[in-house]
Each structure stands twice: as C-alpha cells, then as structure tokens.
C-alpha cells in the first residue's frame, strides 16, 4: 500500500510544474506576509478561479486533458506576483486573456506567448487600471539568494537553465560596462540593479517557460541574448521601466522563426511520466 | 569661500527646523551644519517634470550656493520662484495625523460627541560637519546659459570631466566636498547639465519673506522620472530624510527601484501619546524603517485632490486641502483644466549611502486608492459609570487599553511596562524611573528566516510551512533523480 502511494507520489512529483507551483506560491506568501503587499484575497481568488475555469473550458473543447490545470495555476501565480490592479474585473480579464492565449494563439503546436506575460500586456493595454511595480521586491541580497537557488532548481528540472543564465550574463555584463566601467558608479549600484527581485523572478520564471522559448539550445541562447541586450538598451537609454514585460511579448514573436531555422524536439512537461509522454497535443 | 550645497536638487527653507535639505552643506571649519529634512514637490506631466525645491538655508545668504544635476539646459521660462508657503501648506495637509474620539457614557449622561484632531509633524535632526578641500585641476566647463532670476544668480554648466567641474566651482568661490568629484563623474558622463545657484546680494532683500530664501521651481524634460539623491550623499555619513510631494494625472507615484511601503495606519493607540505625537510618529517611522531593512520608500499620504472632485479631500483634514491656486503654485500646469484628475502622493524616504546606492526612480501608476497615515486615540467616558452597562463598559475599556499598549509597543517600540497604570486609570504615570520610553535594542526582523524572534506573526508560520514543503519536495525530487541516474 505504502509503496503504491509512494510510487504514485514519485510519478506525480516528477512533473516539474509541482515544483514551480510551490516555488511561486512561496513567493506570493513572502510578498503578502513580509513585503506588505495589499492582501486583497478576492483579487487573488478571482485570478485563480477564472484561470482554472478558462483552462477547463478550453480543455473540454480541445484535448480533454485536465491535468493541465497545473499550468493554469502557474499562470495565476505569475499574474498574482507581477500584475497590480485595483479592480477584480481587470484581474479576471488578465487571467482569461492569459489562458485563452495558450489555446488561441498557437504556431506549430506551441503557444506563442508566455501566458502570464500576455495577460499582463492585455490588462495594461485594454484597461486603465493595471500596472507592474518593478520595485515591489526590493533588492535584498538574501532574496537574490533565494530566488537564485530556487529558480536554479526549478529550471534545472525544466531544462531551460541556458535561457536564464544567458539572459542574466548578457544583461549583467552590459549593465556593468555601462554603469561601473563607463560611468564610474560603484559596483554597489550595479549590484543593486541586478539584485532587483522583479528582474530575478523574470529571469528565472518568465523567460524559462519551455513552451514559449525556442526548442533548440543555440536558438535559445540567441533568443535570450537578444532579450538581455534589448532590455539593457530600453531601460538604460530610453528609461522604459517596465521594458521587460513588453520585450518578452515582442521577442516571443521570434520564437517560431528560431524554431523553423533550428529544429529540435518540443519540450514535454510530463516527459518523466509515462502516461502522457506520447501525447503531442499536451498543452501547458 | 561659499557654502555649497550640492544636492540632488536643492536646499530648503527655514521652517521650524534650523536647516534642512537633501544635499550636503560645506562650510569653513567650525561651522555647525544641520542636515536633516528636505522637501521636494514633483509634478509629472508626460515627460515633463516640475521640481520645486524647498530652501531652509538660514545662514548668511552670501554663503549660499547650490548645485543640481539636470537633464537639459533650462530656458529662462523653465525657472520660477515659488512661494515658501506651498511647502507648509502641503505638509500640513498631508502629515501623519492623530485623530481623537470620545466614548459615550453608557449610563446615559450626555457626553461631548465631538471629534477633535491634532497633528504634529515628525522631525528628525541630524548634524554633519564637512571640511573643504582644495584641488588643482584643469577645467573643461562650458557655461550653457546664465540667468538672473530675482534674488538668484543661476548658471547652467556642462562639463567634460568631474575634476574640471570641481575646479571651476572652487575657482568661482564654491568649496566642494572631497568625494563630490567621484559622484559628479557619472552624472557628467550621463550627459547631465549642472544647475548652479547663488544669491545676488544686490537684489536680495533680507526683510522680505521673513529673511528666508524662496524655493526654486524648475521644469525639466526627460523620460527619466527621478531624483538624483547621490550627490547629496557625497560626503554625508548620517541618515537624511526627504519628503516628496508628488502630483500626477493618473494616480499614485511610486518608486521603481526601491520598495514603496505604506506606513501602518488606523491603529488604536493610548490617549497619553497625544502631547507627544511627534515623538510617537518619529519612533513609528524609525521602527518601520528598520523593519524594511532601511531601504524602502514610505507612503504617508495618497489622495485625489482634483479641485472639481466632490468627494472628501481628507479624513479628517488636518490642514486645508490644496485647491486650484495652491495646486498651480506647486507647479501643476493642468490645475485649471476641467476633467483632468490631480492625484497627490506624499512619500517619505530616509536614506543613507550604503542602503541607497542608486538615485530614486519613480513611476506614475493608475492606483487611485486613497491612503493616509492616521492614528486614533479614544477618550474614555466620564461621569458616573456605576450602572450595569457602565461596569461592562469599564471592563471593555481596560481590555481596549491593554490592546492600545500592545499596539504602542509593537508600533513605536516603546517599553510599555512602565505605563501599567494606564490600563486601570488611564494615566501615563511611569512606575519606575529605570523604564525608558523607547527600547532601541529590540532586534529588528526583516529576514524571512527569523520565524521565532520577537514580533513573530502567524504569517511567518504560514511562510515557514510553504517553504518547508518546498524543501521537502526538493529533497524528494533529488532522491528520485539520484535513484534514476
């Protein structure tokens, strides 16, 4: 009996999405408990409920694979962590748009946009009531460590460590050259910029989504270098404080081109679990 | 030798505080310099920012000087003189407030039902002394523009290197702190210009404006919405306070590279803090400042102040809300336009070099939720309380006062053991002289792993639970991977 449960547990937990849910969930709790975010429970419930319902509805009409609710949870957590809004309606709109984008905007059996990112962009563009707070995480070094370590574990499982590392290296190096070597600020200024919690969460969570990054490793390295370089230019010379959100949206459009040029196998969430390994229509 | 204030933007005016500004003062040896609080009004309109800098300089005006990095060479029309009263007005309107309520006598005697409001401003005093240093360098400085604006002589400089700029300032009678050069360099390389101000003694009338220098209001055009605080910290060792009064069309202004944290509000506190509300709030601020790790910006007030807005402008009002005239004085260009919202935000930042390595960057958000830092005292009912309801009331009162003391201890870190008599008698008589009002040795908690320290909340337990699950899961996963591998 125990071994059966244990085997089931092992099979289930092999899905890296469980780790993602716990990882992002702990960040939400951290933000609410320690960083004094507005603990508007109804808003979070609305995000989660509308994401799950949307996912279920689309699943019913497409794959009938309800295990993908895990992905809806991840998207909801991403939205809860990044999107700020004063009204429930905006929260629901972001959530519905995020999940719908996975089913409606698809190229080569992959969805084009990171769902949470798409939801945030939709909310900002379509309502007058949504924003992101790049400063909400602060820049504590301890946080850097936790996000880094946790994020590293997460992406090792997902297998997209190259994206995060390349992005942080390119962005960090350009920032260092500009601020420390050229302008002459102390390294602390650079460290302060690099240890911004929002940047790290973005690097370890938003841009490592295996469904919206190119399949081939070389393509991913190019893709994330492009993202890092563009973010540096936009934030340093054009002072776009929320550039990261817009850039990911734009760079996602390049993913199918990269996939066409450099062919590699598409990522499977459940590749460790035998039950769904051969399901090519698995949506996340 | 002039006293130079190299500041993010400026200096300040003489208020109740001797001197206050967010930059540094330089003086000859022996001169005492106060460097405590500066006030800045920011008005954001698209990519235009109007910055009004308070001027609390109270020394000899011939020694006054100021250097402010600005993004572009300002036109004459971009420079105005503002009225000092605007700062007092905005401060009085938005300062953290104490509200006073009265309990009814449950035994039926008529009681005053009035609500009274008292308010005091927090104030912190820091003192710093700097000595000047002379260096000899070549300067590559261009005077881009030169204006005489009432009592001020203004020069806009562009420079090729920091040593040259420093030399120029020294040769023109300004003394510069030793470390300023190091901070000037990145600003020069970023293409910033320098707005350099001194007082024209021929035009200065010491009898006008109560002998104070008037605030300068400048309009700059840049996508950057920021305040360069680094220059003001070039030689400073201590903590500096800055109050930012921000106006925007959309909603709250928040900081984008540091956390913006709300001050605690609507807390019920003991009645005896009424005469010492200033001290109380200063301690609350100090406590919050430590709790966030000394590197956050605090929100003290946020309200829709649109002149045509019919809702409440404050609750309760401790000062008159700003109307079209005051809003225009503050530099808001749209104050007269109908249908345009004016949202007001008061931010308070206490900064030090080690915790604030970067300048402050801001953004407008669509967040129009009103907020105020407000603390509440409730006076007990008086008269005969011998009826049955009266006795129940007294029990409840004692319970409430106990909670108020706990609140006081957690908010302001006051040692409330000495106020034990407050519960029974409502007095603030201190029982033993060894008890001090504040206990500065209480350990500050800002690390998420400090679950069992003082000030633990149930939230921390929840966080521990989730984080623990994460660790258990990771270990489980690791074992699985190892077995498979």
Q: A75-88 pLDDT, tens per residue?
A: 999 999 999 998 89
pLDDT of residue A149: 67
Residue B359 and residue B478 in one domain: no
Cross-chain residue pair A34–B293, CB shorter than 8 Å: no
Please answer yes or no on whether A192 and B257 come within 8 Å at the CB atom: yes
User: How many angstroms separate the Cα of B303 from the Cα of each of B267, B313, B347, B370?
Assistant: 19, 7, 12, 5
CB pair distance less than 8 Å for B448 and A30 = yes
Q: For chain A, how far is it from start to end, CA to CA, in angstroms?
A: 32
B216-221 and B343-351 strand pairing: unpaired
Residue A89 has pLDDT above 80, yes or no: yes
Q: Tell me which chain A residues have a C-beta less than 8 angstroms from the C-beta of B445.
A: none
Q: Which long-range contacts (CB under 8 A, 24 or more apart) does B310-318 make?
A: B314/B93, B314/B372, B315/B372, B315/B374, B316/B97, B316/B99, B316/B115, B316/B117, B317/B93, B317/B117, B318/B92, B318/B93, B318/B95, B318/B97, B318/B117, B318/B119
Based on the domain organization, do B358 and B422 belong to the same domain? no
Average pLDDT score over chain B:
75
Asked whether residue B467 is assigned to any structural domain, the reply reads yes
Q: Assess whether B292 and B328 both reside in one domain.
A: yes
The residue in chain A having the minimum alpha-carbon distance to the alpha carbon of residue B479 is A10
Domain ranges of chain A: 2-134, 141-261
∠ CA A136-A140-A146 to the nearest 5 degrees? 95
Q: Do A153 and B480 touch (CB under 8 A)?
A: no
Q: Is residue B426 one of the residues assigned to a domain?
A: yes
Interface test with A, best of B163, B451, B461, B470 (most A CBs within 10 A): B470
Domain end call among B374, B407, B435: B374
Indicate whether B126 belongs to any domain.
Answer: yes
* Total-model pTM: 0.81
Tell me what ipTM this predicted complex has.
0.85
Same domain, yes or no: B72 and B212: yes
To which residue do tokens 């989504």 refer?
Answer: A209
Q: Is residue B111 part of a domain?
A: no
Q: Does B323 lie at the interface with A, CB-CB under 8 angstroms?
A: no
The answer to whether B257 faces chain A, any CB pair under 8 Å, is: yes
B366 interfacial to chain A (CB closer than 8 Å)? yes
Banded model confidence at residue B434, pLDDT cuts 50, 70, 90: very low
The b-or-e profile of A110-142 (16+ CB within 10 A means b, else e) is bbbbbbbbbbbbbbbeebebbbbbbbbbbbbee
C-alpha pair distances (Å), B72 with each of B49, B156, B157, B162, B264? 12, 9, 10, 18, 39
Q: pLDDT tens digit string along B393-404?
A: 988 999 999 999
Instruction: Please determine, for residue A260, whether its predicted confidence score (pLDDT) is greater than 70.
Output: yes
pLDDT the model gives residue A154? 65
Report chain A residues whose CB lies below 8 A from the CB of B254.
Answer: 133, 135
Q: In what order do the strands lie in the sheet with B116-118?
A: B116-118, B97-102, B374-379, B267-268
* Among candidate residues B315, B343, B374, the one where a domain is terminated: B374
Measured between CA atoms, how close is B85 to chain A, in angstroms? 33
Q: What is the pLDDT of residues B380-422, one digit of tens each?
A: 888 888 888 888 998 899 999 999 999 999 999 988 877 878 8
Question: Is residue B361 assigned to a domain?
Answer: yes
Facing residue for B189 by CB, picked from A22, A131, A182: A182
* Final residue belonging to a domain, choices B331, B353, B374: B374
Residue B37, sorted as left (phi over 0), alpha (psi -120 to 50) or beta, turns out to be beta
As for how many domains chain B has, the answer is: 3
Residues B57 and B96 in one domain: yes
Residue B224 within a domain: yes
Residues B51 and B182 reside in one and the same domain? yes
Tens-digit pLDDT profile for residues B56-109: 776 777 777 788 889 999 999 999 999 888 988 898 888 888 888 888 888 875
Which of the residue ranges A18-27, B60-69, B219-228 has the most confident prediction, judged by mean pLDDT? B219-228
pLDDT at B330: 92
- pLDDT in the model for residue A13: 56
* Subunit contact B255:A239, Cβ cutoff 8 A: no
Q: Are residues B364 and B411 in the same domain?
A: no
pLDDT tens digits along B125-154? 222 222 233 333 467 888 899 999 888 889
Residues 6+ apart with CB under 8 A from B90: B41, B245, B322, B326, B330, B344, B346
Cross-chain Cβ contact A186/B357 below 8 Å: yes
Residue range of the domain that includes B392: 382-457
Q: Which of B98, B139, B132 is nearest to B272 (CA)?
A: B98
A184 and B357 within 8 Å at the Cβ level: the answer is no
Residues B428 and B481 in one domain: no
Q: How far apart are the C-alpha atoms of B57 and B67, rounded to whole Å?
A: 14
> Is B368 part of the contact surface with chain A (CB cutoff 8 Å)?
yes
For B212-216, what is the mean pLDDT? 85
Q: Under an 8 A CB cutoff, do A26 and B357 touch? A: no
Is B113 domain-assigned?
no
Asked if residue B114 is part of any domain, the answer here is no
């Amino acid at each position: 009996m125990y071994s059966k449960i244990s085997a089931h547990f092992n099979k289930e937990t092999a899905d890296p999405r469980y780790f993602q849910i716990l990882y992002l969930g702990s960040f939400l709790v951290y933000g609410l408990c320690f960083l004094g975010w507005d603990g508007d429970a109804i808003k979070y419930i609305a995000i989660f409920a509308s994401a799950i319902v949307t996912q279920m509805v689309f699943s019913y009409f497409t794959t009938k694979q309800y295990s993908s609710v895990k992905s809806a949870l991840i998207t909801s957590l991403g939205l809860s962590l990044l999107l700020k809004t004063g009204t429930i309606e905006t929260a629901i709109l972001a959530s519905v748009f995020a999940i719908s984008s996975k089913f409606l905007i698809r190229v080569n059996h992959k969805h084009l946009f990171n769902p949470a990112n798409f939801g945030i962009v939709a909310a900002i563009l379509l309502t007058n009531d949504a924003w992101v707070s790049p400063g909400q995480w602060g820049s504590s070094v301890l946080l850097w460590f936790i996000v880094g370590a946790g994020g590293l574990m997460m992406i090792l499982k997902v297998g997209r460590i190259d994206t995060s590392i390349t992005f942080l290296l390119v962005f960090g190096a350009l920032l260092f050259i500009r601020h420390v070597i050229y302008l002459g600020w102390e390294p602390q200024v650079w460290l302060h910029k690099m240890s911004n919690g929002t940047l790290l969460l973005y690097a370890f969570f938003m841009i490592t989504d295996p469904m919206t990054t190119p399949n081939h490793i070389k393509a991913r390295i190019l893709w994330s270098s492009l993202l890092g370089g563009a973010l540096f230019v936009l934030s340093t010379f054009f002072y776009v404080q929320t550039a990261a959100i817009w850039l990911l949206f734009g760079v996602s459009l390049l993913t199918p081109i990269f996939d066409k040029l450099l062919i590699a196998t598409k990522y499977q969430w459940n590749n460790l679990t035998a039950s769904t390994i051969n399901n090519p229509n698995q949506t996340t | 030798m002039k006293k130079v204030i190299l500041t993010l933007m400026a200096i300040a005016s003489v208020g109740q505080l001797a001197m206050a500004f967010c930059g540094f003062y330089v003086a000859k040896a022996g001169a005492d310099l106060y460097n405590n609080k500066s006030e800045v009004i920011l008005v954001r309109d698209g990519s235009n920012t109007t910055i009004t800098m308070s001027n609390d300089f109270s020394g000899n005006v011939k020694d006054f000087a100021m250097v402010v990095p600005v993004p572009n060479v300002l036109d004459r029309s971009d420079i105005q003189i503002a009225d000092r009263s605007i700062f007092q007005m905005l401060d009085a309107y938005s300062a953290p407030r104490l509200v006073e309520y009265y309990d009814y006598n449950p035994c039926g005697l008529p009681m005053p039902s009035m609500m009274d409001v008292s308010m005091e401003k927090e104030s912190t005093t820091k003192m710093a002394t700097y000595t000047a240093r002379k260096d000899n360098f070549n300067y590559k400085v261009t005077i881009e523009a030169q204006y005489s604006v009432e009592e001020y002589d203004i020069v806009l400089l562009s420079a090729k290197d920091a040593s040259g700029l420093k030399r120029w300032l020294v040769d023109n009678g300004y003394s510069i702190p030793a470390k300023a050069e190091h901070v000037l360099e990145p600003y020069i390389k970023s293409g910033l210009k320098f707005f350099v101000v001194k007082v024209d003694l021929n035009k200065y009338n010491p009898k006008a404006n109560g002998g104070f220098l008037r605030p300068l209001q400048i309009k700059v055009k840049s996508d950057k919405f920021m305040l360069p605080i680094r220059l003001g910290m070039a030689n400073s060792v201590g903590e500096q306070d800055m109050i930012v009064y921000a106006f925007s069309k959309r909603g709250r202004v928040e900081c984008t590279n540091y956390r913006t944290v709300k001050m605690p509000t609507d807390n019920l506190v003991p009645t005896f803090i009424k005469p010492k509300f200033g001290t109380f709030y200063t301690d609350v601020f100090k406590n919050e400042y430590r709790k966030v790790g000394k590197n956050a910006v605090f929100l003290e007030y946020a309200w829709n102040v649109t002149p045509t807005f019919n809702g409440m402008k404050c609750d309760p009002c401790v000062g008159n809300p700003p109307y079209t005239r005051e809003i225009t004085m503050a530099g808001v260009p749209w104050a007269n336009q109908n249908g345009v919202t004016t949202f007001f935000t008061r931010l308070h930042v206490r900064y030090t070099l080690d915790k604030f390595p970067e300048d402050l960057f801001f953004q407008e958000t669509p967040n129009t939720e009103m907020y105020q830092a407000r603390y509440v005292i409730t006076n007990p009912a008086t008269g005969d309380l011998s009826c049955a309801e009266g006795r129940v009331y007294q029990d409840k009162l004692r319970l409430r006062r106990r909670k108020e003391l706990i609140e006081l201890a957690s908010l302001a870190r006051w040692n409330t053991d000495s106020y034990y008599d407050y519960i029974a008698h409502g007095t603030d008589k201190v029982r033993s002289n060894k008890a001090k009002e504040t206990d500065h040795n209480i350990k500050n908690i800002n690390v998420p792993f400090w679950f069992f320290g003082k000030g633990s909340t149930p939230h921390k337990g929840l966080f521990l639970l989730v984080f623990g699950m994460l660790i258990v899961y990771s270990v489980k996963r690791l074992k699985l991977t190892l077995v498979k591998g």
